[in-house]
Every structure is written in structure tokens, then in C-alpha cells.
Structure 1
């Protein structure tokens, strides 16, 4: 089983390709990574008795929820700052609304 420390290292490695903008959050980046890594390792530990398929499905659901949450927060920030959405994001949201992508 992966340790929180190893997961944190992997997170940093992934971030080297796709950096996270921590902006001016009043938290240390490594402290935030530690909280997330600890939480995900706890989830993985609770899944130990699940079948491989059930573990994969559960972890995919967790990942999907986090990606969705990230998308929602990103769109909220753009709107809050009056920044227009990219064509791709606008088209995606339009598909979700059942429209043509126009706001």
C-alpha cells in the first residue's frame, strides 16, 4: 500500500507537468499536499477488503468528484473575476445544459 509520503512525492511529480496555482492561499503547499495524501491513503485503506473492481470503481468515483469540484470552482472564479470562459469550457458547459454552448 502506498504511504502518504510517497503519494505526496508523486503529486509533486505530476504537478511538475501541470502546476497548481496556489495563488495567495494562507497555507503551505506541502501542508495541503499532506492533508490530501493522508485523506486519500485513508480512503484506500478502507477499501482493502473490496474487490479490485470495486476499488477501481470507488477510486474513479472519488477522482471524478474531485475533477468536477475543480471544474465548478474554476468556472466560479472566472465568473467572479469577470473573465470570459474559453470556447472549450463554454462548449462543454453548453452540452451539459443541453444547449449550444452560448451563455
Structure 2
């Protein structure tokens, strides 16, 4: 698949139709932000794909995803605490647990 800004913005739109992001009252345009983020990621992708093996690229993307998910989870937990909620670690981690698997 050719990685392009337009393709990824379209795919992101499809993902958000099922799992929307709440932009609330943030002081910037939703579409402009999406395009800026995706454009930056596509540029980075094209820069690394020529100098790395496929397995290294996969590892890099897994690491990047892990960092973003961890950061998002921490920010979500902080928001819940600021709103006066008690944290339930099982509920917080439920989206990351494979169905049918128990640790």
C-alpha cells in the first residue's frame, strides 16, 4: 500500500466513525490538526523506510504505538482523577486485554 497523507486521512475518518475522538472545545480545527499530524507521520515514514529493514520498521512502529498508548492511558487516568473519579485499574486496562485471556 502506498502511504500518503490523503489515504491515511481517509482511513482515519473511517476509524473515527466507529471510535470518535472528542475534540470538545479545543482551540484548533479538527481537520487541520488531523492533516498536520498525518502529514508529519507520512514524512517520517518515508524518511525511515529507505534506511531500515522491514522488521526494524515494524519494531519502531510497535514501540511508537506502545509509547502513545501508555501516554494516553496515563492522561486518561489523570483526567478521571481530576474529575473526582476513583481509578479501577481493571476497567482502565480492559481495552488492552485480549478477550478470553486472563493474566
Is there any run of 5+ residues in structure 1 with no aligned partner, and where? 93-103
**Partners of 2:5 and 2:38 within 8 A in 1:** yes
Q: Is the aligned partner of 1:73 residue 2:65?
A: no
Q: Deviations over 1:62-83 (max 9, x none)?
A: 1111111111111111111112
Alignment TM-score, normalising by the size of structure 1: 0.78
Alignment TM-score, normalising by the size of structure 2: 0.78
**Partners of 2:4 and 2:42 within 8 A in 1:** yes
Which structure is richer in relative contact order (CA contacts within 8 A, separation 6 or more)? 2
Q: Tell me by how many angstroms 1:87 deviates.
A: 5.3
Is there any run of 5+ residues in structure 2 with no aligned partner, and where? 95-103
Q: CA RMSD in A?
A: 1.9
Q: Tell me by how many angstroms 1:18 deviates.
A: 0.9
Partner of residue 62 from structure 2, selected from 60, 65, 68: 60
Q: Which residue of 1 aligns with 2:45?
A: 44
Distance in 2, Cα, partners of 1:85 & 1:46: 40
